[in-house]
Structures are given as C-alpha cells and as structure tokens.
Structure 1
Amino acid sequence: MSNSPTKESIPKLSPPTMTAIENPPSPRTHRALRRLQSAHSLGGSSQPSLITQQHKQALQRTHSPANSSSAHHSRGRSNSDATNMTPINLGAAGKRPISNKRPIAADALSLDRLIRDGPPDDDLVGALESTRLKILGQALLFVASANAYWSSLRIYVWLILLNAPVLETESYLALIHRGASPAYSKIRNDTFRTLATDPLFRRRVSEASLIRLLNAVAWKLYDAKEERAGNLAKAGQVTHTANPQGSPELQSSVPVMRSRARALTLTTEGSDAGGSEPGTYVQGMNVLAAPFLYAARSEAEAFVAFHRFITTECPGYVRGAMDGVHKGLALVDKVLAIVDPKLSLYLIGKGMSAEIYAFPSALTLCACTPPLPQVLRLWDFLFAYGAHLNILCIVAQLVILRNSILSSPSPTKILRSFPPLQAETIIEVTLTIVKKIPDDVFSEIVSHAK
C-alpha cells in the first residue's frame, strides 16, 4: 500500500509450533485469545522498531514487582484465563507507556470510538498507528463477536486505511444512469459465478448490485483511459491478450488449474478479461469486488473503496496482461525458496510453480477461498499493514500445509483447492516469516502490484 507501514514496523511473532500449524484452533478458543494478546507482546530484531520498543516498555511496566510476581520475565506472558478480556479493550499490552515522548491519545480509545470521533489532538499519524495495532489485536471484534458475519465498522476502517476520497451518492448514480458500459457483457458473464456457493454473500449481496458496481467502475476506468488517450493524442496501447477460450492467465496445461479456476468462479468462458476495451474490466474483478459489497452499508461506499483499491494499491492486477499478478506469483516462488527451501524444491521438482496453483489466490487476495468471514478478517490485516503482504499470506498457507504436501506423491491433489482459510493462523505465520525476507526482495513485494 502506498501509505502502509515499513517492513521494520510490522510486528513480529515467535515461530508457531507445528501442532498449531497442522491443527489451527478456532478463533473462539482460549488459545486464539492468547495469540491475540501475544500479538502485542512482540519481540524485535537486533534493532527493534519504535512499535516494538514501546510494547516492551508497556509490558515491563505492566509486570513490574508492584503489579506482578513474574517481573523477571523480559516478555510478558499473556493471561489466557482472564475473564475481563474483551474485543474492544486491548488492556495494557495495547497501550503505550508514559515516556519521554508524549503518549498517543488514540491508544486510550476503543476502535469504534476512534473511527467515530476521529484522531484526538489531530494526531493523524498516531491515530493510524494505533488503529493498525487495534486491528491486529481485535480479531474478535470482526470474527467471533455476536455479529460474526458483518460489522458496520469494517467499511469505515477500510476506507480510512485505503485513504479513499469522499464520494457523493449522486456521482455514483450518475455512472449507473449512463447505462451499459463497453465491458457490460463481460461483467454479466462473470457475476453470476461470484461466490456462488457462499450463502452469507448471497443473502446480503444481489447479483444486480454486483453488476451495477462493476459497470460503474468500468465506466470510471473507461473515462480515465479515454483521457489518457486524449493526452497522448494517439490511439491507445494494447493492454490485454485474451483469446476466444478466455484469458491466458488461467489457461494451463495442468487440468487441475483449470478445474480450480472454474470452481472458484474465475472461469473466462464468454468473458474476455479486457478484450477490445483494455483496462475497463478483467476477469477476477468480480471476486475482488465481492468483499467490498458485503462489508459496505451502501453500493456507493463499496464503489469508492473498490475503485480506490484497484487504481492505487494493485493497478497491475487489473490492467494489461495482469503483469502485477504474474510478478506476484514469481515472488511466491522466490519467498518460499527463502522461507522453506525443502518445500520449494519439492514443489518445483513436481512441476508445481505458483503460476499453476496460486493464480486465483494472488489475483483476489485470497477472496477465492472460503469462508467469507475469514476473508474479511484477513483483509483487515492486509489493508492495515499492506495489501502486498498477500504474497506472504499465500506462502504462509503453503507452510501450514507443508507436512501434507511433503508426504504426498501428488501435491496437485492437495493444491487443487486450498483448505478453508484460518485467518488468525495465516496472519501469525505471515508475521513470523516477514522478518526473514531480505530487504531487496521485500521491496519487490511492496511494488509488484503497481
């Protein structure tokens, strides 16, 4: 993300045990609560980031002799039996200590109040930092609360983290009233497949709503393309290489890839992923738009968030031949070789590059893998700390499956479809491996979707 934290400021977790990886617990268990608390007790590298130093100081103060008999521990132990732990109140582990620097007032506010009232003392930078930490530690706010499947707060958090502009509803309606865009037929060929087996999505979002959103975005992108063409004063560039059989990005000699793409609603039959109007609609945008519509309170909110996301955070995913997606898949292979050389060599030896099994996950930020509530939780993390971290989230899923993959003579059967998302476990593994990535590779990850 353009305004996402640097690598050094991303929190770090201790390596998870293989038991936890092979059998990820439910977010409602005490073990999940312990992980949420531990996320704010993170150790640093040889040169800890400011966030890490602040948390260490907070823990040392919390576990001082006056407050705890375990003051000799350098890292505070989370209390999984605490009965007063709530999703809204992070406790001492989520607050900064009184130090030489002025404490950030946003830490004293719950996330919903911080979003509602805005940054205290007009401290926007401090409020964003505090918001990110609250999101990292408040999975229960969005996943395991009474309103487990929808949160009225989420869309506003996303709009803030994406730095989305204010959009009047009339502006969105004006795009709708223009009628069918040049990409309308392609949109109609894809929308009915979107999360077709997810009852939560179907209950809240209609196909008509998804068609209107994608058609409005297509008009917006079309206008931008026309403006660029006018500025160049010449005919535009060729930005896609589709054929009658569909987008080549999902055409593979491996049958399993084609079957997985079809199952995940990313088929291109009758959808030219760009065709004669490159840069207005590519297949897969329907799946990317789905979580925005589900989380939003109105189509206009979903429109401005989705348009902002695809034009500033991952424009390389939805233009041309989806070069950003292909760069991301190459980085999946590169990162896996760094994090788990044995697993990487095994997959490559079986002819399984990321292009074969990870294209839908890279293109849709894992939105192609159910269940939807876990997708939303994972997106909370990605929008807070950088959508580019989706590359590491894909690698994390491979690491979680490593024992099953290594023991299988045919990993294609396992990777035909990734198992249901366990967002907390994926985030935990991602935060564990992020510090292992060399700076130059991490820079490639940050910029690959631009």
Structure 2
Amino acid sequence: MAKPQPSWGLTGPEVPPSPRTMRTLRKIQSHQVLTTSSALIANTQPPLPSDGLENGPPTAPVGASVRARAHRRARSNSDAATREAAATATAPAPTQRRPARKTGSGIGLKRSVLENLLRDGPQNGNTREGLQELKYLVLSTRVDADGDGMSSYRVYLWLILLNIPPLPTDDYLALVHRGRSPAYTKIRNDTFRTLATDPLFKRRVTEASLIRLLNAVAWKLHDSKTKSRSRPSSRRREMELLVNTPPRIAEDPSVPDDSSMGSSGDSTIYVQGMNVLCAPFLYAARSEVEAFALFHYFVTRECPGYICGTMDGVHKGLRLVDRCLEIVEPKLAAYLFSKGMQAELYAFPSVLTLCACTPPLPEVLHLWDFLFAYGPHLNILCIVAQLIRMRDIIFESPSPNKILRSFPPLDAKEIIALTVLLVRKIPDDIYVELINHAK
C-alpha cells in the first residue's frame, strides 16, 4: 500500500491528491483485488466509481470482467456525450447548469477547513499546534460525509489522530495467507450476525472481508502472546541455572503465566463483540489494509483490557458508567439502582463496541471522530449522556429494563455536546480512572 508520506510530519498517510486517484486506490485495495495476483492488478483499468467492498468475489474470470466493465464505461461515456450535445442544441438556456449533488467527496464543492488542513498539513510545520487545531475542528465542525456516512478523508483523519504509520499490503496478505487462526471457529460464529439489520453496512462490507480482517488480527495477537510467554520463561531458566537451584514443579516455566488463557489459547486473541467493534473500521476505510491497521492498533493500544479473556476493561467501564451517572444525575441513578438496573445489565455492548451497536452507522462514525480526537475513554460519558437524554422516558416507565434493552438512535451532535458539559462535572480522580480503565 504505497502512499506518499504526509506533510504532517506524522506517521499516518495523507489524503490522495484527487478524488479520481482515491477511487482508483480504493478499488485496487479492495477485498476483491486482495486475492488476485500483482500482474492482474497492474493490468486493471481505472474502476467505476462504486464501493469496492459492497460486491462479492467475481464469478467470471477477472480479465474478462475488467474488459467488460471497461467496454461498458467507454460506451456509457460516448452515449453521455451524444446526449449532452443533443441537450445543448435544444436547451433554451445553455448557460444554466444543474447544481452539483453533494456526495461528501469534495467534487464540485468547496473543501472545508478541516479537509484543507488534512491536505496541506500544519502551518510552518508545527505538528503540535496542527494537531490541536485538527482536534478543535473535529469538535466544532462535522466531517463532510454523504447520507451513507461516507467521507473521502475520514480514514486519513483517524490514521493521523491515532498516529498509525503506513502498513505494507504484503504484511496484511502474509497474515491472510496463513489460513485459519486458532480463533477461526469463534470468528465464523459471530461474523454473519455483525450489524445484520443495518442495510448500509451489509451493502458495503462483505462477511468475507470481516472474516479475513478478524482472522489476521487473531494471528497477530497470537504471535505477540507467544513471544511474551517465551521471553519470561527463558529468563527464569537462566536465573535458576545461575543460582544452581533445580526448578520446582510449581514454577515450571512451560506453564503459561497468563491464567486467562483457555485450553486452545484462543480466549485472549478473540472475544465476542470484536466483530462489531471492527465493523465501523471496515465501513469507513478505503481498503482492508487500512482497516486492519486501525483495528489492530486500537485493540492493542487503546483498549487491550476489552479483549482479554476476562474483559476486565469492559467491567471497569461499566462500573464507571454507574459512578459517573451518580455524580452528574443522582436522581436518575437512584431510580435505576432502586429497580436493580446497574450498567452491567444494559450497557455492556455500548462499552465494548464504543456505541457501534446502536444505529445509525453514519452517526456512529461522527461519534468516533470525536472519540479518536479526544480519547476513547470519553465513550463512558457518551453512554451517560444517552441515559440523560432518555431520562423522562425512564422515569415514566415502571420497568426501565424494557427501555434500556435497546438505546434510541444515536444523535452524535447532541451526545457530543452533552458529553463536553459532563466532563466538567467529573472529579479529577474519577477522570483518571476513565482514562486508564481500558488499559
């Protein structure tokens, strides 16, 4: 995935120079082409401006498919030119033009300040000030997107905010070609129901791409855990030999120190819910490689406590939901507690998936823009904000558990505005716990 280095001075890739180039890169890097040879990729004609991940693998030979699409496109352009000439000859006002349709890609539209900053980089090369300005723009303005939540630069914004370096495509392909990971069966049991009722997601992301990405991340986590277990064992043997003391059975280095490991070793490389957490990355990214880089970084650096065998980070987050709600809205918290409604009973999916389990997906993406700019730990307060917005309905219900089974549709703008106000009410010691709860 060769992309020019950004003028940011960061390690994330920059936005390609033109929408046509971006569409071409996206098609080349889609899951359909990941399984083809490099020779076929080199011979592929510029693709049609369609989503690269919404169609399944081609049933006809790739070469024939490419030739057929190129032929149809040439004929379409020719017909369009003929129709345009005829319309020009008969139109009473040839100078009038139909206004451009807003697609969020920037075509025919003036670029926003946020997009210009992403494209041009910070002034005078001051990365620190540029990042602060970038975060403020995310908070004060929304990322330009169409009705489906698609944006031409959102994935690059995420890569810059999370400071993720470019990942060679071959590294991802090597993990894919290793085949089934130890967690493959668990992954297959979850992927088919990932956002199953969301037509936007089902139209754009295939189950095959979701399986490949999760399986690749499982291999990556498996390798890192294997190395981390082997290194302490070697050091322990060296120390025992140094003091000439035979090892005891209870201290056998061959026994893994991680008590959360299951019998097959897959309990800490995949947990249920990772499929939903992965879904927005695949939806927003322009290639599987970008989605893999984002998702792997996120689960290993931002919330490793969410994917360990016991999900300690998720349970800490749930307890923080109760504590923060008690601080900012004590009456609502007391009412829920009197009904036996702790966050463990209703907020588990929202904590684990950063609210990705609550539709609509375009609003989830806007919420994630804010979380990646100011910290994923603020998701806890976003959940509290949703509860506060439901306050009147909860008080009127004698059985709030029925209401809290599914939260109302997300309104990212309102939730973010309320979350910013709630931050001021959280004591410093609780806020530190928020920051560290997923580590």
Distance 1:116 1:165 in 2: 17
Q: Could you tell which deviates more after superposition, 159-168 or 218-227?
A: 159-168
Deviations 1:121-170 (A, max 9, x none): 2211111111111111222623xxx4542112111111111111221001
Question: Which has the higher mean CA deviation after the structures are superposed, 346-355 or 232-241?
Answer: 232-241
Q: Would the alpha carbon gap of residues 170 and 326 (structure 1) be closer, same or farther in structure 2, given more than 3 Å must change?
A: same
Match of 1:219 in 2: 219
Match of 2:333 among 311, 323, 344: 344
**Which one-letter code corresponds to 2:294 in the other structure?**
A
1:422 matched to 2:411: yes
- Pick one of 327, 331, 334 that aligns with 2:320: 331
* 1:194 aligned partner, one-letter code: T
Q: Given that residues 218 and 270 in structure 2 are in contact (C-alpha distance below 8 angstroms), is that contact kept between their aligned partners in structure 1?
A: yes
Moved more, 386-395 or 128-137: 128-137
Q: Answer yes or no: is the 8 Å Cα contact 2:305–2:313 preserved in 1.
A: yes
Q: What's the counterpart of residue 318 of structure 1? A: 307
Q: 1:445 aligns with which of 417, 434, 437?
A: 434
1:10-49 alignment, distance < 5 Å: none
State how 1:192-203 maps to structure 2 within 5 Å: 192-203=192-203
Contact 2:267 2:308 (8 Å CA) reproduced: yes
Matched with 1:296 is 285
SS in 2 for 1:436: coil
Tell me, yes or no, if structure 1 residue 236 matches structure 2 residue 225: no
Q: Which residue of 1 aligns with 2:140?
A: 137
Deviation (angstroms), 1:444: 0.4
Unmatched tracts of structure 1, length 5 or more: 1-86, 89-107, 243-273
How far off is 1:275 after superposition? Answer: 5.9
CA distance in 2, matches of 1:138, 1:210: 31
TM-score (norm 2): 0.68
Q: CA deviation at 1:432?
A: 1.1
Match of residue 378, structure 2, among 358, 383, 389: 389
Residue matched to 2:26: none
Larger radius of gyration: 2
Query: Which residue in 2 is equivalent to 1:177?
Result: 177
Give, in angstroms, the shift of residue 237 of structure 1: 3.6
How far apart, CA to CA, are the structure 2 residues paired with 1:133 and 1:114? Answer: 12
Give SS of 1:425's match.
helix
SS in 2 for 1:172: helix
Question: Equivalents in 2 of 1:392, 1:275: separation in Å?
Answer: 36
Distance 1:241 1:434 in 2: 37
Cα distance in structure 2, aligned partners of 1:329 and 1:291: 22
Once residues 431 and 240 of structure 1 are traced to their aligned partners in structure 2, the CA distance between those partners, rounded to angstroms, is 36
Partner of 1:409: 398
Per-residue CA deviation, residues 186-225 of structure 1 (Å, 9 max, x unaligned), is 1000000100011100111000000000000000000000
Once superposed, what is the RMSD of the aligned Cα atoms? 2.0
TM-score relative to the length of structure 1: 0.67
Q: Deviations over 1:263-296 (max 9, x none)?
A: xxxxxxxxxxx96323211111000000000000
The count of corresponding residues between Structure 1 and Structure 2 is 312
Contact 2:378-2:434 at 8 Å conserved across structures:
yes
Amino acid at match of 2:293: V
Give the structure 1 partner of residue 11 of structure 2: none
Q: Is 1:204 aligned to residue 207 of structure 2?
A: no
Cα distance in 2 between the residues matched to 1:126 and 1:189? 46
Farther-moved stretch of structure 1 (218-227 vs 147-156): 147-156
SS in 1 for 2:186: helix
- Does the CA contact (< 8 Å) of 2:229 and 2:256 recur in 1? yes
The answer as to whether partners of 2:149 and 2:365 remain within 8 angstroms in 1 is no
How far does the alpha carbon of each residue in 1:28-77 deviate from its partner, in whole angstroms, 9 at most, with x for none? xxxxxxxxxxxxxxxxxxxxxxxxxxxxxxxxxxxxxxxxxxxxxxxxxx
Instruction: Give the Cα separation in 2 of the matches to 1:176 and 1:405.
Output: 47
Please point out which of 356, 366, 377 is paired with 2:345: 356
How many Å separate the matches in 1 of 2:390 and 2:310?
Answer: 30
Contact 1:370 1:421 in 2 (8 A): yes
What amino acid sits opposite 1:154 in the alignment?
R
